[in-house]
DNA sequence: GCCACATATGATCATCTGTTCATATATCAT
DNA sequence: ATGATATATGAACAGATGATCATATGTGGC
C-alpha cells in the first residue's frame, strides 16, 4: 500500500534494471485479474472438475460421483468457475449440462502439466 | 473422502458419461500438484514478481521497489515461487539475482492473459 | 574480530477459503 | 396443487494464507 518510490531507506537499487522493468510492468488491475484466474485454478476440486469437463459435458451429480465430493461442494465450486467464465452450461429439463467455456483451460492445463511432470 | 461408488442415494447418474470420464481422469496426486502450481500463481504479489522477472533478472530489493511491497514480503513470496520451481537464483556477493526457472511461466501467463483480456 | 548490508525466517494476526449442513429454487410428473 | 428430483444458496466453522514486525543468517569490508 505504501508506495515509497522515493526509496527512503532502500539502498541496493539497480536503477536501470528497475526502470527497464517498470516500463514493461503490467497494471494493478491486470495483475489482479490474472491472479484471480489462477486462484480459480488453484484448488484440487476445481482442477478435477475442469479436467473431467475436458472429456465431455457433465451434469452436477455426475461430476460429484466422478471426483468423489458432495453435490453441494461441486455446485459451490461450479459457481466460482462460472464467475471466472471458465465453464458454461445448458439446461435440459431439470438437468444442467456443464462444459468448458473456451479452449484456454486446455492450454493452461497443458502448460501446467508440462511444468509439473518434468 | 467418502468414495461411495455404489452410489447410495444418488439417482441422476449417466453411466456411460461417468465411466468415460473416469477412464481419462487424472490421479489425485497430479490434480494436487497442478492445483498447487496454479495456487502459487494465484496471488497478485507473486504475479507481479513473475511478470517483473519476465523482463530480466532482479535482486530482492529491486523487486520490492518495482512492485511496491516490503522486502520481507517479497522474500516470503520468492520462497513459495522457489518451492514450486518457478524461479531460480544466482549469488553475486551478498546480492541474489532471481530469474525465471523455465519458459512455462511465459506460456501460462500468455494463455492466462488471453483469457482475461478477451 | 567487528559492523553494515542483503536476504531469509519465524511468530503473530486478520482475512480469506472450502466443506458441511440446512434450506431454497426450479422443473417435471401425477 | 403436490411431491420428487436436480441444483443453488446461505450460514457456520475449521483450516489456510499473506502482510508485518522482529530476529537470524550469510557475505564483504575494515
Nearest to B86 by CA among B42, B29, B20: B42
Residue A11 Cβ < 7 Å to strand C: yes
Query: Band of the pLDDT at B10, cuts 50, 70, 90?
Result: low
| Separation between Cα atoms, residue A37 and residue B38, nearest integer Å | 9
Average pLDDT over residues B87-91: 97
CA B79 to chain A, closest CA, distance in angstroms equals 17
Q: A38: which chain B residues are within 8 Å (Cβ-Cβ)? A: 38-39, 41-42, 47, 108, 112
Tens digits of residue pLDDT in A17-50: 899 999 999 999 999 999 999 999 999 999 999 9
| Separation between Cα atoms, residue A105 and residue A54, nearest integer Å | 9
Q: Judge whether residue A7 has pLDDT over 60.
A: no
| Separation between Cα atoms, residue A70 and residue A62, nearest integer Å | 11
Average pLDDT over residues B44-69: 97
- For A77, the grid coordinates are 465450486
- Give the model's pLDDT for residue A10: 53
Tens digits of residue pLDDT in A41-78: 999 999 999 999 999 999 999 999 999 999 999 999 99
- Give the model's pLDDT for residue A12: 67
For a pLDDT cut of 90, what percent of chain B falls above it?
85
- Give the model's pLDDT for residue B93: 93
- Give the model's pLDDT for residue B52: 98
Q: Judge whether residue B76 has pLDDT over 90.
A: yes
- Give the model's pLDDT for residue A15: 87
B/e letters for A2-39, b = 16+ CB within 10 Å, e = fewer, are eeeeeeeeeeeebeebbeebeeebbeeebbbbbbbbbb
Residue B31 Cβ < 7 Å to strand C: no
Burial, B27: exposed, middle or buried (Cβ in 10 Å; 0-12, 13-18, 19+)? exposed
Query: Band of the pLDDT at B11, cuts 50, 70, 90?
Result: low
| Separation between Cα atoms, residue B92 and residue B19, nearest integer Å | 55
- Helix extents (H) in chain A: 15-24, 28-41, 44-55, 60-67, 71-83, 104-116
Q: Which residues contact B103 (CB under 8 A, 6 or more apart)?
A: none
Residue B77 Cβ < 7 Å to strand D: yes
| Separation between Cα atoms, residue A38 and residue B91, nearest integer Å | 30
Q: Judge whether residue A4 has pLDDT over 80.
A: no
Q: A87 versus B8: which is more confidently predicted?
A: A87
Residue A76 Cβ < 7 Å to strand D: yes
Output the distance from B70 CA to D21 C1' rounded to whole Å. 11
Q: Which CATH architecture has domain A45-118?
A: Orthogonal Bundle (1.10)
Which residues pair with residue A92 across a beta bridge? Answer: A95
- Give the model's pLDDT for residue A11: 65
Beta-carbon contacts below 8 Å between A and B: 197
Whether domain B28-116 has CATH 1.10.10.10: the reply is yes
**Strand C bases contacted by the protein (CB, 7 Å):** 5-11, 17-22, 26-28
Amino acid at each position: 500500500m505504501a508506495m515509497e518510490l522515493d526509496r527512503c531507506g532502500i539502498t541496493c537499487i539497480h536503477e536501470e534494471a528497475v526502470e527497464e522493468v517498470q516500463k514493461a510492468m503490467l497494471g494493478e488491475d491486470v495483475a489482479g485479474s490474472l491472479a484471480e484466474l489462477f486462484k480459480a485454478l488453484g484448488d484440487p476440486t476445481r482442477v478435477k472438475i475442469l479436467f473431467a469437463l475436458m472429456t465431455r459435458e457433465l451434469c452436477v451429480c455426475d461430476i460429484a460421483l466422478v471426483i468423489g465430493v458432495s453435490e453441494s461442494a461441486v455446485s459451490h465450486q461450479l459457481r466460482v468457475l462460472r464467475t471466472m467464465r471458465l465453464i458454461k452450461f445448458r439446461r435440459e429439463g431439470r438437468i444442467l449440462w456443464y462444459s468448458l467455456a473456451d479452449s484456454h483451460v486446455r492450454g493452461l492445463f497443458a502448460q501446467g502439466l508440462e511444468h509439473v511432470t518434468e
